Structure 1
Amino acid sequence: MEKKLLPASAVRDICGNISDMTLWRWLADPDLDFPKPVYISRRRYWREADIIEWLDSREVSA
């Protein structure tokens, strides 16, 4: 399985064109359990599989 890392802009697009502030709020809200980023040279990246899994779990509970 490929372990693809997504930058914040791609994560915002996948999550419905959310703003950077919304992404920040999701990260700060422990109840949402949004995946934490990996930092590489002070830039944030997320594992694509983690984002997809989180989105799938939100669809089931919605």
Structure 2
Amino acid sequence: MQKQYLTSAQVMSRYSISEMTLFRWQKSEKLGFPKPMVVNRRKFFKVDDLTAWERERARVSA
């Protein structure tokens, strides 16, 4: 099974956030946003990591 990745632009679209918000989420240790893989200065986020983060956020806020 091949792992799926999203670009920064796709992540911003997924959460309806700006580039600055994505930057802040990545810098916030408290938020625990998944770390991207960087290739040629482009960031790629694992879909599995994002899904796990969403579930954790939903569990914490419930």
* TM-score (normalised: structure 2): 0.90
The percentage of aligned residue pairs carrying the same residue is 34
- Does 2:27 match 1:28? yes
- 4+ residue runs of structure 1 moved beyond 4 angstroms? none
My pick for the range that moved more, 17-26 or 1-10, is: 1-10
Cα-Cα RMSD: 1.0
SS at match of 2:38: strand
Query: Is 2:12 aligned against 1:12?
Result: yes
Amino acid at match of 2:49: D
Gapped regions of structure 1 (runs ≥ 5): none
Q: Match for residue 3 of structure 2?
A: 3
Task: Return 5+ residue gaps in structure 2 as ranges.
Answer: none
